[in-house]
Amino acid sequence: MKDKIKDELLDQLLENYMDHWIRRRIRCCYWKQWKRIANHVRNLTSLGVSRRNATITGVTKLGHWKMSKSPGVSQALSKHYLEEQGVLSLVDLWSRVRYPDTSR
């Protein structure tokens, strides 16, 4: 019984915290890599953010970590986009290891 509760808690921890934190950290790295305001705006618009929102988001002086959670950056660097770039989901990996497909 205790093992089942531990597994459920670990699943929730991976799903609700770690996976989100890793994606946010990657967004932070992208934001930091873009460096200049012009690059922020250009890259956000090329990733589908409206010109107005990209400009509002791009000219801010907030730190990298805070910007990684902003709506403009989250929209541009969505979970789907990050998966396309090769970022693996801990939840998916954990479920493959924990609950392997036994049908062959």
Map residue 99 onto helix, strand or coil.
coil
Is the pLDDT at 1 greater than 70? The verdict is: no
pLDDT at 31 (0 to 100): 95
In a domain, 80, yes or no: yes
Number of domains in the chain: 1
Q: What is the mean pLDDT of residues 72-80?
A: 93
Boundaries of domain holding 68: 2-97
Neighbours of 76 (CB within 10 A): 23
In a domain, 103, yes or no: no
Q: How confident is the model at residue 102 (pLDDT cuts 50, 70, 90)?
A: low
Is the pLDDT at 104 greater than 60? The verdict is: no
In a domain, 55, yes or no: yes
In a domain, 104, yes or no: no
In a domain, 102, yes or no: no
CA contacts within 13 A on the Cβ side of 20: 6
Structure pTM?
0.78
pLDDT at 19 (0 to 100): 84
